[in-house]
Amino acid sequence: MRDNPQQIRREFALLDPGEAAALELASTLKANLVLIDERLGTLAAQSAGLQTTGLIGVLERAHRQKLVTLGDALRNLRAAGCHLSPAFLQAVAKRNGITLD
């Protein structure tokens, strides 16, 4: 993780103010993991040396710990209007050993 707060602030300047503040705090606290789904925010976080995951990554971890059924969770997200491309869904299914209908 970089130790230059001014450089980190410049990298976060293009982000939504709340997102930038969250990433600045994560950087200051040397957080182990940041939950973020926005592409620009993810790139900025990684550029600052932060490890990131998104909603799907959280669901995959929960699935591996047998806390959720990943297929059901993905179907529920799609039913709720969350846009997940078919190719992305198939990649998630394949790496987790599940099938989607």
The model's pLDDT over 6-41, given as tens digits with 9 standing for 90+, comes to: 776 677 888 989 898 899 899 889 999 999 988 899
- What is the per-residue pLDDT for 2? 53
CA distances from 15 to 21, 43, 57, 85, 90 (A): 9, 11, 22, 24, 30
Residues paired with residue 35 on neighbouring β-strands, in sequence order? 53
- What are the tens digits of pLDDT across the range 32-58? 999 998 889 999 999 888 999 999 999
Mean pLDDT, range 69-73, rounded to an integer:
96
**Exposed, middle or buried by CB within 10 Å (0-12, 13-18, 19+), for 8?**
buried
Beta strands in the chain (DSSP E): 34-35, 52-53
Q: How many CB atoms lie within 10 A of CB 15?
A: 20
Give the predicted TM-score (pTM) of the model.
0.78
